[in-house]
Chain A
Amino acid sequence: KAGVTQTPRYLIKTRGQQVTLSCSPISGHRSVSWYQQTPGQGLQFLFEYFSETQRNKGNFPGRFSGRQFSNSRSEMNVSTLELGDSALYLCASSLGQMNTGELFFGEGSRLTVL
């Protein structure tokens, strides 16, 4: 069974640009969550999608947005990039039932903002 796939793995952008990151969950998983990981801050929850609907949202500005498609694949978008957005963005999928505890993570997309 293929794992969670995130693309691209690495990318470099400049301030003011926008970026779109993609996540393909494990087959059959309907929930996709996004996390931002930075040194010292750990993992910060961005949002979770389940069956194309945003079910939970973290405390991030509106520049961070996401969506989920009917095949459960998800994208997140960051507009008007700032230097502080440099981070590893992790996607995690799960079956979707409330808190089974099994979040399956991808390897992440490492974003550098110059």
Chain B
Amino acid sequence: AQSVTQLGSHVSVSEGALVLLRCNYSSSVPPYLFWYVQYPNQGLQLLLKYTSAATLVKGINGFEAEFKKSETSFHLTKPSAHMSDAAEYFCAVSAPSTGNQFYFGTGTSLTVIP
């Protein structure tokens, strides 16, 4: 079985500061891991994904995440926050053998303070 825990339902950072959104996963098989972003009144958009290649994954809009098997973590970072980064972020896990069944975390709302 797979599950995801996102630590911190709300995170606030100042514009220009480091963004760190935490995600820990549980999976009985080697997982695929994803970060999605949701802007108000919109669907989810893929930021980046880990599918067993490089452990440091770079995504869109300057975001990146590092897969750490020993810590079962997949934290999302961005060196410098921009006002446009304010959104809801979801971490998700899936197992390669389960089709397109994804397990999402409960989300982290990111606020960027000018």
Chain A residues positioned under 8 Å from B101 (CB to CB)? 33, 45, 48, 56, 58
Say yes or no: B100 contacts A106, CB within 8 Å: no
Give the residues in chain A near B90, CB-CB below 8 Å.
42-43
Contacts of A41 in B (CB 8 A): 106
**Which A residue sits closest to B46, measured CB to CB?**
A102
Query: Which B-chain residue is minimally distant from A55 (CB atoms)?
Result: B99
Q: Within the complex, what minimum Cβ distance (angstroms) separates B61 from chain A?
A: 17
A42 CA to B89 CA in the complex, in Å? 10
Pick out which of these stretches binds chain A: B11-19, B36-44, B63-71, B79-87.
B36-44
Interface size, B (range): 20 to 34
B99 touches A50 (CB 8 A): yes
Question: In the docked arrangement, what's the CA distance between A101 and B45, Å?
Answer: 11
A55 to B98, CA, bound (A): 9
Q: Main SS of chain B's interface residues?
A: loop
CB distance from B30 to the nearest CB of A (A): 11
B106:A103 contact, CB within 8 angstroms: no
Checking A43, A92, A98 against B96 with a beta-carbon cut-off of 8 angstroms, the contacting residue is A98
CB distance from B112 to the nearest CB of A (A): 21
A59 vs B84: C-alpha distance in the bound complex, in angstroms?
35
List 17 A-B residue pairs with CB atoms under 8 Å apart, sorted by A's residue number.
A31-B100, A33-B102, A42-B106, A43-B90, A43-B102, A45-B102, A48-B99, A56-B100, A56-B101, A92-B43, A99-B51, A99-B100, A102-B49, A103-B44, A103-B102, A105-B43, A105-B44
A interface residues with partner B (beta carbon < 8 Å): 4, 31, 33, 35, 40-45, 48, 50, 55-56, 58, 90, 92, 94, 96, 98-99, 101-103, 105-108
